[in-house]
Amino acid sequence: MKLIALMKKEFARFFGDYKLLITMILPGLLIYIIYSVMGSVMFGGEEEAYRLRVYVEGESAIVSTVESAASANGWETEMLSLSEAGIDEETAREQVASGEASALLVFSENFDASLGKGAAAEIVYNADDDGSAAFASLVNAALQSFSFTLTVSDLSGSGGGAQMVMAGILPMLIVIFVFSSCMSVTLESVAGEKERGTLATILVTSVRRSDIALGKVLPLSCVSLIGAASSFLGVVLSLPTLMGVSLDVAAAGVGAAGYVLLFLLILSFVPLIVAAIAAVSALSRSVKEASGYTSVLMILMMVLSLVTAFLPDIGGWVVAVPILNAVAAMQGILTGAPVVWMCLVSVAVNLAYTAVLIAVIARLLSSERVMFGK
Amino acid sequence: MQDNLPFSDFGEEVVRAEGLRKTFTLSRKQQRLEHTDFPRKVALDGLSFSAQRGEIYGLLGPNGAGKTTTLRILSTLISPDAGDAFVCGHSVRKEPGKVRDVIGFMTSELKLEGFFTPSYLFDFFGAMHGVEKGALAQRKQELFARFGIDRFAEVKVSDLSTGMLQKVSLVISIVHDPAVVIFDEPTNGLDVLTAKVVIDFLLELKAMGKSILLSTHIFSLVEKLCDRVGIIIDGKMAADGKLQDVCGEMSLEDKFFAIYRSIKGDAV
């Protein structure tokens, strides 16, 4: 009963103030506008009509699927088998690397018959060539629903295309937007209440400290989730423009399961971030002080997220590190290669850390030095 | 309205402090302000006293004597380093939750959120104390009518006048009908009209049969309200008893300074 009353009070505080609600929803809109503009600048909008020459080694009905998807995007695609072109695979790779050809698709033997039974394919492209990069992205996205191993080989000298860069940056951006959303509500609610003396008024009642901690973290997480969901929607809707492909292709690239995993990951680190900021707020004497500490926490998280995103083959150990595990898992999802166990373990790890932090907050609320120290 | 009967377990003694000791660590800045090189300050040094049921007990002392520390210990916000205190028979060390159930604590440091209305906050704090909904609604109606809050029940706390805000704070501190009401410096910083609201409120509470413990440095307030007085100087109880027994033929002010000089010399 007491926990419910505490939670209702937090909800009443935020849902009773329309200005706070607007500040929660606004970031998603901004993300959508900014990312869409960025995508349009980078890819010249969705109307870009590429002329592509693609070599194909091996046979599969998937070739026509890719061709249809490319023409649906308004691209003129010439699909040539290596025998038609009269060249070998090595020459085809050289042509892709030099930009003479856009891409090379290599299918394993009896590919269509062995779908789901060890079929493998490779797409060789050049990320320095916009058309080639867009084609690789489209192939990656369009073939998600087929069960085979797709190897993506970039022959550019720069080491990564715009899409790959975006897949690296996006998880970090999601974390930052979620962090900002959590920060705005939690600082006010915990450090603000402590500074104004309204938290002490609750401490004089017989309610348990753990209930107060839970009564803060749970509703604040829900409120922060509104901001997070808004940011998430902003990212999802602007993703196609960023990838230079149409909405349905982009959606297929991440896949329904990918979106579910993405949202689960966000769902797991929102309460974790709220609990971390609440703990920092409980330790601080004022909103100003808490805001200073939290900013340091945010910068630290940004740097570590960037490192995680761009460190190749980071290893499975990252699942033990809160938030960063979600960054690594989200990167996998956004590049079209989600590692399901990593996503699920990350969710569990983040929730476990949240529980630990709630216990820490309850201890802090019981500490006279923390709550009433000058 | 129910009073605080029965007290079968602990007789007439609603509050008993036994050898309370509390020290605080001073920061360098605090050491400078206190003009001392010692990193620790003894706030309470073996303080003992008891308050009786249905009476108003006043803790009188200069600033820094340890009054607020005593009340904070009794309200379980802080713990004593040594000694213990019992409120309605419950130890502040071992049963802080039970102590919080039977006390109402009022101090200027405890604030109400300006965003909410008196009605909402009354219900919220009622829930925090585990008051049953039906009883809470009835108590709200009675107390709001008695203290003239009913007309402002749905006005945001931030929009209330100082006097009305004080009334709301007072009423909310007794939302759970506590047996013991503890007030730290009840009239400190209040204008004469609001101070009168508080004094009348305390007398009302006494008439309801509540036991009240207050701290103050205002002699007239003790003389007007208190049945018993405890004079605290430097964290120790210098005198304790019924007001007339402590003062004898002297006024409280004269008696206080006589005691003060006997302890501190002529440093008044």
Q: Give the strand pairing for B56-60 and B228-233.
A: parallel
Task: Give a yes or no: residue A272 inside a domain.
Answer: yes
Task: Give a yes or no: residue A45 inside a domain.
Answer: no
Task: Give a yes or no: residue A349 inside a domain.
Answer: yes
Task: Give a yes or no: residue A122 inside a domain.
Answer: yes
Tens of pLDDT, residue by residue over A324-360, are 888 888 888 877 677 788 889 999 999 999 999 999 9
Of B77, B115, B120, the CB nearest to A204: B77
Nearest CA in chain B to A365: B77
Domain shared by A144 and A172, yes or no: no
Tens of pLDDT, residue by residue over B74-123, are 999 899 999 999 999 999 999 998 999 999 998 887 889 999 999 999 99
What ipTM did this prediction achieve?
0.85
Nearest CA in chain B to A12: B116
Domain shared by A154 and A130, yes or no: yes
Domain shared by A350 and A310, yes or no: yes
Domain boundary among A161, A188, A213: A161
Nearest CA in chain B to A200: B110
C-alpha closest to that of A164 among A18, A331, A347: A331
Domain shared by A185 and A90, yes or no: no
Q: Are B91 and B85 a contacting pair, CB within 8 Å?
A: yes
Of A2, A9, A203, the CB nearest to B77: A203
Domain shared by A232 and A356, yes or no: yes
pLDDT of residue B9: 56
Chain mean pLDDT for chain B? 88
Task: Give a yes or no: residue A219 inside a domain.
Answer: yes
Question: At a CB cut-off of 8 Å and minimum separation 6, what does B213 contact?
Answer: B15, B51, B56, B57, B59, B71, B74, B180, B181, B182, B183
Contact B111 A196 (CB under 8 A): yes
- Residue, of B151 and A315, whose pLDDT is higher: B151
Domain shared by A176 and A300, yes or no: yes
Domain boundary among A107, A136, A161: A161
Domain shared by A121 and A57, yes or no: yes
Span A157-161, average pLDDT: 49
Domain shared by A80 and A27, yes or no: no
Tens of pLDDT, residue by residue over B118-154, are 999 999 999 999 999 999 999 999 999 988 899 999 9
C-alpha closest to that of A120 among A132, A112, A128, A130: A112
Dihedral sign for Cα atoms in the order A265, A271, A276, A281: positive
- Residue, of A152 and B229, whose pLDDT is higher: B229
B77/B92 Cα distance (integer angstroms): 9
B212/B54 Cα distance (integer angstroms): 7
Contact A200 B109 (CB under 8 A): yes
Tens of pLDDT, residue by residue over B215-234, are 998 999 999 999 999 999 99
Which residues of chain A make contact with B80, given a CB cutoff of 8 A? Answer: none
Distance from CA of B245 to the nearest CA of A (A): 34
Nearest CA in chain A to B27: A374
Task: Give a yes or no: residue A44 inside a domain.
Answer: no
Domain shared by A127 and A246, yes or no: no
Domain boundary among A124, A142, A161: A161
Domain shared by A200 and A77, yes or no: no
The whole domain housing A78 covers: 51-161
Q: Are B89 and B65 a contacting pair, CB within 8 Å?
A: no
Q: In what order do the strands lie in the sheet with B13-25?
A: B40-52, B13-25, B82-87, B90-91
pLDDT of residue A128: 77
Which residues of chain B make contact with A368, given a CB cutoff of 8 A? Answer: 77-79
Task: Give a yes or no: residue A256 inside a domain.
Answer: yes
Domain shared by A273 and A324, yes or no: yes
| Beta-sheet strands, E only, within chain A | 51-57, 76-81, 103-107, 120-125, 149-154
Q: How confident is the model at residue B159 (pLDDT cuts 50, 70, 90)?
A: very high
Tens of pLDDT, residue by residue over A105-143, are 888 888 888 877 777 888 888 877 878 878 887 787 777
Domain shared by A242 and A176, yes or no: yes
Tens of pLDDT, residue by residue over B169-212, are 989 999 999 999 999 988 877 778 878 888 988 998 888 889 99
Distance from CA of A29 to the nearest CA of B (A): 28
Contact B101 A198 (CB under 8 A): no
- Residue, of A159 and B243, whose pLDDT is higher: B243
Contact A372 B111 (CB under 8 A): no
As for how many domains chain A has, the answer is: 2
Which residues of chain B make contact with A5, given a CB cutoff of 8 A? Answer: 124, 127-128
pLDDT of residue A374: 60
Q: What is the CATH number of the domain that holds A114?
A: 3.40.190
Nearest CA in chain B to A14: B115
Q: How confident is the model at residue B3 (pLDDT cuts 50, 70, 90)?
A: very low
DSSP assignments along A298-364, one per residue: HHHHHHHHHHHHHSTT--GGGGGSTTHHHHHHHHHHHTT---HHHHHHHHHHHHHHHHHHHHHHHHH
Among A15, A21, A196, A206, the residue to mutate for chain B (most B Cβ within 10 A): A206
pTM for this entry = 0.76
Which residues of chain A make contact with B78, given a CB cutoff of 8 A? Answer: 368, 372
Task: Give a yes or no: residue A46 inside a domain.
Answer: no
